[in-house]
Amino acid sequence: MKETEVDSKAEFEKSLQANGTEKYVLRLYVTGMTPKSIKAIQNIRKICEENLKGRYELEVIDIYQQPEYAKKEDILAAPTLIKKLPLPLRKFIGDMSNEEKILVGLDLVPKKGKKKQK
């Protein structure tokens, strides 16, 4: 990526954060239409619709159909969700049923046990 492209991307991301309209780019890697894969898809769609409506892009990738993606992203287990944007990049493994863990990992709610300073 060219330096000007990096600068433009950083400026774009900063402006989104300032407006509170941060766009989330998520990729969910699954292995076919197994029960665990189906549950992960349903769970993450529900979480996104309830918490990020209109502010997310979710791409579901079947690594049986596109194994090159698994290699490129170092996917060792499936289902795996990768939060590409906003940074930092994060990975979640499993059926996405632990909603609190997902919300904390997406930085949508603070981690329990951490008190906000007044």
| Tens of pLDDT, residues 28-61 | 999 999 999 999 999 999 999 999 999 999 999 9
- Give, in degrees to the nearest 5, the angle at Cα 11 between 8 and 16: 125
Delimit the domains of the chain by residue range. 23-105
My answer on whether omega of the bond before 110 falls inside 30° of 0, hence cis, is: no
- The distance from CA 88 to its chain's CA centroid, rounded to whole angstroms, is 10
Dmax over Cα atoms in the chain, in whole Å? 51
pLDDT, tens digit (0-9, with 9 covering 90-100), for 97-112? 999 999 999 999 888 7
Q: How far apart are CA 60 and CA 57, in angstroms?
A: 10
23-105, CATH topology level = Glutaredoxin (3.40.30)
CA distances from 46 to 7, 101, 105 (A): 34, 14, 16
